Amino acid sequence: MIVVDASVLIAHLDARDTHNQKAAALLEAAVAEPLGASAITIAEVLVGPVRAGRLEEASAALTRLGLHEIGLGEGAAPRLAKMRARTRLKLPDCCVLLAAEDREAEEVASFDNRLAAVAAAMGLRLLEG
What's the CA gap between 34 and 57, in Å, rounded? Answer: 21
> What predicted TM-score, i.e. pTM, was given to this entire model?
0.94
Q: Average of pLDDT values for 94-116?
A: 95
Over range 102-117, report the average pLDDT.
95
Q: In this structure, what CATH number is given to the domain that contains residue 60?
A: 3.40.50.1010
Query: Residue 108 and residue 128: Cα distance in Å, rounded?
Result: 9
The boundaries of the domain holding residue 35 are 2-127
Number of domains the chain contains = 1
Instruction: Classify residue 85 as exposed, middle or buried by CB count within 10 Å of its CB (0-12, 13-18, 19+).
Output: exposed
- Helix, strand, coil shares of the chain, percent, nearest 5, are 55, 15, 30
Percentage of the chain lying above the pLDDT 90 cut: 94
Confidence of residue 129 (pLDDT cuts 50, 70, 90): low
